[in-house]
Structure 1
Amino acid sequence: MHLSVASSHAALLSLRALLGQVPQLSEADIEEFVAYWQKLVDLRRGEFLIRPGQAEHHLYFVHTGLLRIYLPVGSEEICVGFGYENSLICSFPSFVTGQASEYSIQALRGRELLGISRPDFLGFVEQNANFGRFWRAELERNLVGRIEREIDLLLPDPAQRYARLLTRSPQLFQRVPKKYIASYLRMTPETLSRLR
């Protein structure tokens, strides 16, 4: 389902505002980049942005709502991340390689997203040095976050995993249902309840 003109305009304004906080991007850089965000998506609760076996062709800016990224393993759904307002989301391994995704991305609350195609995004990164520097810094920041998450998962004590996540991402505990946080921390919802 596609967004209304008013919703897409509001989403573009939010994307511009977010990019406006990046010191190295000029107003011209931002306007040129925002023009590429052509795919408008409206997901209802429970609908999927991508499922395993599909290739990821877009990077998305989340305007509203809440999404979870999970890996289906047998009857289990292992939560590996979340997307919420003013964040970027996609099945990143698929976006980078062009191969089929192993992950699902599902709306937990109604979602409005803007998408940029992989060729448009990669072309812009190659052509715009300012944006290339910004994107490299974002990748580095996300890599540090992934390493922190790996450390969390290696800790045998659930209380340590909980404390580290609470310190690093306290907003998750206000936005995300408990059962998905428990999955993300690789513990049962009951264990998470005891720790809280």
Structure 2
Amino acid sequence: MSLISATPAAAAPELLAALLRQVPFLTEEDIAAFVPLWHKSVRLQRGDFLIRPGQVEHHLYFVRAGTLRIFYPSQTEEICVGFAYGNTLVCSFPSFVAGQPSEYSIQALRKSELIGISRADFSAIVEARPNFARFWRLELERAVMGRIEREIDLLLPEPERRLARLLARSPHLFQLVPKKYIASYLRMTPETLSRLR
């Protein structure tokens, strides 16, 4: 899930507050109540895991800096299903919502800094503040639209069309993510991706 873009070199809470100030219907009081709830600070080195299969996701994270991949580990391969990078939200969403063990892994592709809010604190503020309920609904709508676009991508038999759609939608990924993970995300071999590029 992606928040509004911003580039200032601020600490994570200040950066989160600055991004939220770009949401027209969030008040200063809303933001002042929300930002201090992000208690958990996480620093990951390249290759470190934020979560592994079998663990329960208790936090929603804001990525201050870095790049992470979300993948499903099957018996034969690691299937990349998404990415997170600066100014985006990330978690093992089914686990976060249902409180069940995650089926996904989230791994840092480069040094990353995140802050997290607990499920309990997040649920409480969404219940207490209608503006945050609206904000969360809009973020979820964007996430669902992104998932629908991804499903369309995966239904296309032509790898060049899958690549063209990703380039149109998220060209910045090619600057952030190693091509072997983009190839996995597009359900093609790295060789096919290199040929098409």
- Aligned pairs (5 A) from 1:1-196: 10-196=11-197
Aligned length: 188
Instruction: Measure the CA separation in 2 of the matches of 1:57 and 1:182.
Output: 30
Instruction: Measure the CA separation in 2 of the matches of 1:156 and 1:122.
Output: 40
Q: Deviations over 1:14-64 (max 9, x none)?
A: 111111111110111011100100000111110000000000000000001
Give 1:187 deviation, angstroms.
0.1
Following superposition, which runs of at least 4 residues in structure 1 exceed 3 angstroms of deviation?
none
Q: What are the ranges of 5 or more consecutive residues in structure 1 without an aligned counterpart?
A: 1-8
Give 1:75 deviation, angstroms.
3.1
SS of the residue aligned with 1:21?
coil
TM, length-normalised to structure 2: 0.94
Give 1:174 deviation, angstroms.
1.0
SS of the residue aligned with 1:35?
helix
Q: Deviations over 1:125-157 (max 9, x none)?
A: 111001111110110111011001000000000
Q: Percent identity?
A: 71
Q: What are the ranges of 5 or more consecutive residues in structure 2 without an aligned counterpart?
A: 1-9
Instruction: Measure the CA separation in 2 of the matches of 1:65 and 1:144.
Output: 24
Residue identity opposite 2:44 in structure 1: L
Aligned to 2:4: none
Aligned to 1:6: none
TM, length-normalised to structure 1: 0.95
